C-alpha cells in the first residue's frame, strides 16, 4: 500500500489543490479515497510521513495554508493525532473550506475542534467510487479549479477500491447463503416427511380399518382428519387409538365379534353391527 503513495506522490505544483488530511494510522484506508480522486483529475497534496527537518516543517505549513480545500478523513485516530488536528485547524482559523469524510456515522467534528457547520460526507451511505467522487466534487467548498489531468492508476498500484471489494464480498456471501439455503432445505425435506407420517396405531384391528379408509397413501394427520366412519374386521384389544381420529362418528363392528362379550368403546359413537342388528 505504501508503494502506491510513492508511485503517485502528492501534488507539488502552484495550481489550486486539495489538502487530504488523515492520521498516519488511517493511511491504508485513505488510499481508497485518494485513488478515485486522482483518477478523476483532482490535484491532491498530503503528508508523506513525519517531517525530518525544520525546513520541511516550514514547507509543509505553507502547503497546509495554501490548499484551496482541506479534505479530512475524520476518525478517532485523526482526533487523537496532534499533528493532524493542528494542521487542519490552521485552515479553519483562516476560514479556508474544510470538508469532512465520515467513515462510520460518528460525528467527530466537535472532538476535532471544528465548527458544527462544517459539511461532511457520510461514506457509509455511498455505494461506489463514482458516488464518492461525485459527492466530493459537488460538496460545498469544492471548486472546478481543483481538477486537472486524470491519472491512470493500474490495479497493481492499489488493487480494487474498498467499494469494489465490498461488492465482491457481498456477491460471494449471497452465493454462499443461497447454497446453504438449498442444502438446508434438501436436508430438512426427509425430516419433514418423517414428522408428517408419525401417526401410528398400536392396535392392529384399528390400524387395518384406518388403512382401509386412507387407501394407498400414508397415514397422516391430514388424511385421517376426514374419517367419520370405520369398519372393523374384529374386536380391538383396546380402544385408545380412537383418540387419533378426531372426526370419527360411526364404528361398524362384525356381529360375530361381540360373541366374546368384549367391552365396547367409551365415547359418543354410533355402533353399527355388520351382518346383524344395531
pLDDT tens, position by position, 98-108:
999 999 999 99
Q: Are residues 50 and 99 in the same domain?
A: yes
In this prediction, residues 94-116 reach a mean pLDDT of 91
Q: Are residues 121 and 256 in the same domain?
A: no
C-alpha cell, 42: 483532482
CB atoms within 10 A of CB 137: 16
Condensed to tens digits (0 to 9), the pLDDT of residues 188-209 reads 555 444 445 568 888 888 888 9
* Lowest mean per-residue pLDDT among 43-47, 112-116, 121-125, 159-163: 159-163
Condensed to tens digits (0 to 9), the pLDDT of residues 198-237 reads 688 888 888 889 888 888 778 888 888 889 999 988 888 8
Q: Are residues 142 and 211 in the same domain?
A: no
Check residues 135 and 172 and name the one with the higher pLDDT.
Answer: 135
Q: Which residues are CB-neighbours of 234 under 8 A, at least 6 positions away?
A: 205, 254, 257
Q: Are residues 140 and 191 in the same domain?
A: no
In this prediction, residues 60-88 reach a mean pLDDT of 93
> What CATH number is attached to the domain comprising 9?
3.40.50.10140
Residues spanned by the domain of 257: 204-274
* Lowest mean per-residue pLDDT among 32-46, 122-136, 228-242, 261-275: 261-275
Amino acid at each position: 500500500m505504501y508503494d502506491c503513495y510513492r508511485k503517485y506522490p502528492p501534488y507539488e505544483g502552484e495550481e489550486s489543490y486539495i489538502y487530504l488530511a488523515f492520521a498516519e494510522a488511517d493511511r491504508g484506508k485513505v488510499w481508497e479515497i485518494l485513488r478515485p480522486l486522482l483518477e478523476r483529475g483532482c490535484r491532491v497534496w498530503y503528508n508523506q510521513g513525519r517531517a525530518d527537518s525544520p525546513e520541511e516543517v516550514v514547507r509543509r505549513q505553507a502547503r497546509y495554508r495554501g490548499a484551496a480545500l482541506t479534505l479530512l478523513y475524520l476518525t478517532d485516530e485523526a482526533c487523537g493525532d496532534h499533528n493532524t488536528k493542528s494542521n487542519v485547524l490552521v485552515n479553519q482559523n483562516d476560514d479556508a473550506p474544510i470538508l469532512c469524510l465520515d467513515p462510520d456515522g460518528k460525528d467527530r467534528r466537535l472532538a476535532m475542534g471544528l465548527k458544527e457547520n462544517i459539511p461532511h460526507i457520510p461514506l457509509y451511505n455511498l455505494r461506489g467510487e463514482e458516488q464518492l467522487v461525485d459527492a466530493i466534487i459537488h460538496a460545498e467548498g469544492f471548486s472546478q479549479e481543483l481538477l486537472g489531468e486524470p491519472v491512470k492508476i493500474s490495479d497493481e498500484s492499489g488493487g480494487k477500491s474498498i467499494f469494489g471489494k465490498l461488492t465482491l464480498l457481498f456477491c460471494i456471501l449471497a452465493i454462499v447463503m443461497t447454497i446453504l439455503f438449498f442444502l438446508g432445505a434438501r436436508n430438512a425435506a426427509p425430516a419433514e416427511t418423517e414428522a408428517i407420517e408419525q401417526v401410528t396405531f398400536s392396535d392392529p384391528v384399528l390400524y387395518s380399518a384406518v388403512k382401509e379408509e386412507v387407501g394407498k397413501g400414508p397415514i397422516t394427520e391430514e388424511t385421517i382428519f376426514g374419517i367419520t366412519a370405520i369398519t372393523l374386521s374384529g374386536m380391538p384389544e383396546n380402544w385408545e387409538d380412537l383418540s387419533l381420529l378426531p372426526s370419527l362418528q360411526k364404528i361398524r363392528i362384525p356381529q360375530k365379534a361381540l360373541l366374546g362379550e368384549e367391552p365396547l368403546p367409551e365415547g359418543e359413537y354410533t355402533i353399527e353391527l355388520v351382518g346383524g342388528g344395531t
